[in-house]
Amino acid sequence: MSTDTSAGRAAASGAAGDAHPTPDRNEGLTSADLRDLSPADQDLRLYRAMAFVRAFEERVETLYKQGQVRGPAHLALGHEAVAVGVGAALGPQDRSIGTYRGHHHALVRGTPPDGMMLELLGRAGGVCGGKGGSMHVLSVEHGYLGSHAIIGAHLPVAAGLGWASQVLGDGRVTACFFGDGATNIGAFHEALNLAAVWHLPVVFVCENNGYMEYTPIETVVPVTYPAADRAAAYGLPAITVDGNDVSAVREVAVAAVATARRGEGPVLVEARTYRHSGHSVADPAAYRPVGEVEAWKERDPLAVHRDAALARGGDPAAYEAVLPQVREQVAAIARRAQEAPVPDAADAWTDVWSDGSSTWRS
Amino acid sequence: MAELTYREAVAAGLAREMDQDPTVVLIGEDLRAGGVFKTTKGLFERFGPVRVRDTPISEQAIVGAAMGAAMGGLRPVAEIMFSDFYATCWDGVVNEIAKARYMSAGRLTLPLVIRSANGGGIGFGAQHSQATENWAMCVPGLKIACPSTPGDAVGLLAAAVRSDDPVLVFEHKALYGVRGEVPDGDHVVPLGRAAVRRSGADVTLVGLASTVPMCLAAAADLAAAGVEAEVIDLRCLVPLDAATVLASVGRTGRLVVVEENPGQLGWGAAVAALVAEEAFGDLRAPVLRVSGGNVPLPVAKELEAEVSPSAAKVVAAVHRALDHRRVAPVP
């Protein structure tokens, strides 16, 4: 009842322990994918997931600058560790939901990258059928319930997903990603309050990249941590984490997801990170002080994790090989998308209603 | 067949759907206490705190949570206490709920209902009396049901709850005390099917919710003067039963649309336009609209009445339509 897919129908049936579909997760991951791996292999898997996001976003940036992306694109370059660290804490049955800067969250849950690229380029077969674009990618069967492009609007939706899990007893947890800028909009506060007072199984994750679009967040928030410092108002502990350290994010997220799953209510995590590029690809981000980008790139989440993994005895050659490999993989995805046909114009008239039509009158 | 008030019918309709489907849940303000309009009376006691959830005064949270719950496997029925308050959560309704299915190419389904108390006539003023059904009609992706009788309050609600599309149900607060028959058993009024409440050959009156009894009162007055009016209760704005309106106008040649929302862009304009476009040859007089005034709704009885539609205004409009024939006869 929740979705058109058989996966969704299974979800709607509710009971924990249902035979969950096991869709191909591509380069994405869940806690289940990591469970049976050695610590060293887990490290490499986390790195690979981040690298795939990196390669995907680099390619989108290039395609955008070539005028091939339809509409805006908000890249997650620099945000990879937040998505992968939290994704590593979610089970296959769990759900996540994010913002217009959401390619990384979609990919981490396993949303097909081919379908995403087709969507971004406005070609037939995109994950939203050409009706959503970069800001609205989703994959219901992978538990990514969409990127939402009105700041803050999806936080109450996350609360509702948690409410459904609570009523149905399906044992799922919902992770809700949002930016620092969202902490000043009413929906953030309404959703946190509702989730807290109803003890909903939701993990709210603020990706604090320091900028509300083009404006430094500290100029519009009177506290140091725009999300975590407000958590106390809703009876929640202030949890902050280095958002460029995937292991740190994962550790915090595992605990947060466990708390939520135990029925102890929502958890809010604020992950401090940085976007390497502008608000959208169209934004050169000239408002940033000289040296700031370079300083953050010194703490590039891929490099931070690689160095830590190597210090734990990881194989340098294995890490060396990852980025070239995923870049090649993504280049092939992009080529396939560029060669794909455009959508049938008649598709614009479908999918308004559950009968598939857009008919509003007799 | 039971005789219930419209407000009792709403509660009864909710109870019927909750009895039938354990995934139907209610969310809104003051539900436990029965609701400020007593439309959820007894439901908390009967269905318990898991299925009847009181919220803070947080309309964005209410509609967002309803959306998430619908995505997560429930059939939520949310209440926005006064339809004026849609303005505080309109983003969730129009940018999220109305568009989710389309933007996901059908991969998301939102089986949800939002109910609210709509309209004026009882002196609640400009922030608690608006007829806002026309706001929703501007947005593709929302179905809109507006019951005019206790029977339809149950039947349209049943159809709305069982629909896999988001449906906004506008209950009319001036009708809550009206009594009427509610069929026993599984009473469902399909969305998008108008009711011909009275047949007549001289003029078609199209009403919705509060303006339906107004049209019927006008028709009774007109009958005394030898004019037979056909009264159509649209019941829904989306889907709109245009076929019933067009067929009636084909018989009568005259149309008066009676809408409570402000006329400057009321739903009556859409009905008038489609009749002008598709039944021009049938018309023997210009299409006329009796609409709410283009002012914020005042409180004092005489002021509110001045800018609201009424049976007398409908009768006057019908006479204008009939006079047109005498002034400009078809050669």
Minimal C-alpha gap between A103 and chain B (Å) = 15
A264 exposure class (CB count in 10 Å sphere: 0-12, 13-18, 19+): exposed
Residues of chain B with pLDDT under 70: 325-331
Q: Which residues of A touch B248 (CB under 8 A)?
A: none
Q: What angle is formed at CA A173 by the lines to CA A21 and CA B66, rounded to 5 degrees?
A: 95
Minimal C-alpha gap between A221 and chain B (Å) = 22
**Strand-by-strand arrangement of the B143-145 sheet:** B52-54, B24-28, B75-82, B113-118, B167-172, B143-145, B236-238
* Catalytic residue check, B128: yes
Pick from B331, B324, B299, B320: nearest CA to B124:
B299
| B107 close contact with A: CB closer than 8 A | yes
- pLDDT tens, A262-316? 999 999 999 999 999 999 999 999 999 999 999 999 999 999 999 999 999 999 9
- Is residue B84 within 8 A of residue A213, CB to CB? The reply is no
Which helix (H) or strand (E) segment holds residue A272: the answer is: strand A267-272
| B69 close contact with A: CB closer than 8 A | yes
- Is residue B17 within 8 A of residue B47, CB to CB? The reply is no
Of A95, A128, A157, the CB nearest to B96: A157
DSSP classification of residue B48: H
How far is C-alpha B261 from the geometric centre of its chain's CA atoms? 11
pLDDT at A170 over 60: yes
State whether A163 and B141 contact (CB < 8 Å). no
Q: Which residues of A touch B73 (CB under 8 A)?
A: 1-2, 11-14, 164, 168, 170
C-alpha span between B249 and B241 (Å, rounded): 13
State whether A1 and B164 contact (CB < 8 Å). yes
Looking at residue B325, what is its pLDDT?
59
Residue B142 CB contacts under 8 Å (≥ 6 apart), including other chains: B93, B94, B97, B98, B136, B166, B167, B168, B238
When pLDDT is cut at 50, 70 and 90, the band that residue A24 belongs to is confident
Write the single-letter amino acid at A329: Q
- Is residue B232 within 8 A of residue B193, CB to CB? The reply is no
Q: Which residue has the tokens 């019908």?
A: B318
State whether A154 and B96 contact (CB < 8 Å). yes
Q: Which residues of A touch B140 (CB under 8 A)?
A: 352, 358, 360
C-alpha span between A227 and A232 (Å, rounded): 10
Q: How many CA atoms lie within 13 A of B21 on its CB side?
A: 20
Q: What is the dihedral of CA A297, A301, A306, A307, to 10 degrees?
A: 60
Cα–Cα distances (Å) from A128 to A131, A139, A339, A357, B99, in that order, read 5, 9, 18, 16, 12
Among A148, A354, A359, pick the best mutation site for testing chain B contact (most B Cβ within 10 A): A354
| Average pLDDT of the residues of chain A | 93
- Residues of A numbered 88-127 whose beta carbons fall under 8 angstroms of chain B's beta carbons: which are they? 95, 126-127
Cα–Cα distances (Å) from B236 to A275, A356, B9, B167, B213, in that order, read 48, 20, 18, 10, 16
Q: Which residues of B touch A360 (CB under 8 A)?
A: 140, 238-240
CB pairs < 8 Å spanning A and B: 196
Among A70, A111, A128, A157, pick the best mutation site for testing chain B contact (most B Cβ within 10 A): A157
Q: What residues are paired with B3 via a beta bridge?
A: B181
Looking at residue B326, what is its pLDDT?
56
Pick from B312, B309, B273, B316: nearest CA to B294:
B309
Looking at residue A18, what is its pLDDT?
41
State whether A146 and B51 contact (CB < 8 Å). no
Per cent of chain A over pLDDT 90 is 92
| A344 close contact with B: CB closer than 8 A | no
Which helix (H) or strand (E) segment holds residue A251: the answer is: helix A246-261
pLDDT at A19 over 50: no
Of A150, A193, A352, the CB nearest to B56: A193
- Residues of A numbered 28-47 whose beta carbons fall under 8 angstroms of chain B's beta carbons: which are they? none
Q: Which residues of A touch B163 (CB under 8 A)?
A: 354
State whether B64 and A356 contact (CB < 8 Å). no
Q: Which residues of A touch B237 (CB under 8 A)?
A: none
Report yes or no on whether pTM surpasses 0.90.
yes
Of A136, A161, A353, the CB nearest to B68: A161
- Is residue A3 within 8 A of residue B108, CB to CB? The reply is yes
Write the single-letter amino acid at A83: A
Q: Which residues of A touch B274 (CB under 8 A)?
A: 361
Residue by residue, DSSP assigns B288-321 as: EEEEE-SSPPP-SHHHHHHTS--HHHHHHHHHHH
Q: How many CA atoms lie within 13 A of B154 on its CB side?
A: 25
Looking at residue B5, what is its pLDDT?
98
Q: How many CA atoms lie within 13 A of A126 on its CB side?
A: 32
Q: Which residues of B touch A190 (CB under 8 A)?
A: 56, 58, 60-61, 64
Q: How many CA atoms lie within 13 A of B144 on its CB side?
A: 28
Minimal C-alpha gap between A110 and chain B (Å) = 16
Pick from B64, B108, B69: nearest CA to A170:
B69
Closest CA in chain A for residue B108: A3
Cα–Cα distances (Å) from B148 to A267, A303, B218, B242, B289, in that order, read 45, 66, 16, 18, 19
Minimal C-alpha gap between A129 and chain B (Å) = 5
- Is residue B64 within 8 A of residue A157, CB to CB? The reply is yes
Looking at residue A26, what is its pLDDT?
75
Which helix (H) or strand (E) segment holds residue A337: the answer is: helix A316-339
User: Average of pLDDT values for A355-362?
Assistant: 98
Alpha-helical segments (H) within chain B: 6-20, 43-51, 59-71, 90, 100-103, 133-137, 150-162, 211-224, 242-252, 267-278, 301-306, 311-327
The CATH homologous superfamily for domain A28-341 is: Thiamin diphosphate (ThDP)-binding fold, Pyr/PP domains (3.40.50.970)
A262 exposure class (CB count in 10 Å sphere: 0-12, 13-18, 19+): exposed
Domains (ranges, CATH) in chain B?
A: 2-182 (3.40.50.970), 195-327 (3.40.50.920)
Q: Are strands A144-148 and A95-99 parallel, antiparallel or unpaired?
A: parallel
- Residues of B numbered 258-297 whose beta carbons fall under 8 angstroms of chain A's beta carbons: which are they? 274
How far is C-alpha B250 from the geometric centre of its chain's CA atoms? 25
Pick from A275, A253, A247, A257: nearest CA to A162:
A257
Q: What residues are paired with A216 via a beta bridge?
A: A211
Q: What are phi and psi of A265, to 5 degrees?
A: 100, 180
Token digits of residue A318: 């294995």
State whether A360 and B238 contact (CB < 8 Å). yes
Closest CA in chain B for residue A188: B61
C-alpha span between B274 and B290 (Å, rounded): 17
How far is C-alpha B77 from the geometric centre of its chain's CA atoms? 16
| A153 close contact with B: CB closer than 8 A | yes
Q: Which residues of B touch A165 (CB under 8 A)?
A: 72
- Is residue B228 within 8 A of residue B222, CB to CB? The reply is yes
State whether A164 and B69 contact (CB < 8 Å). yes
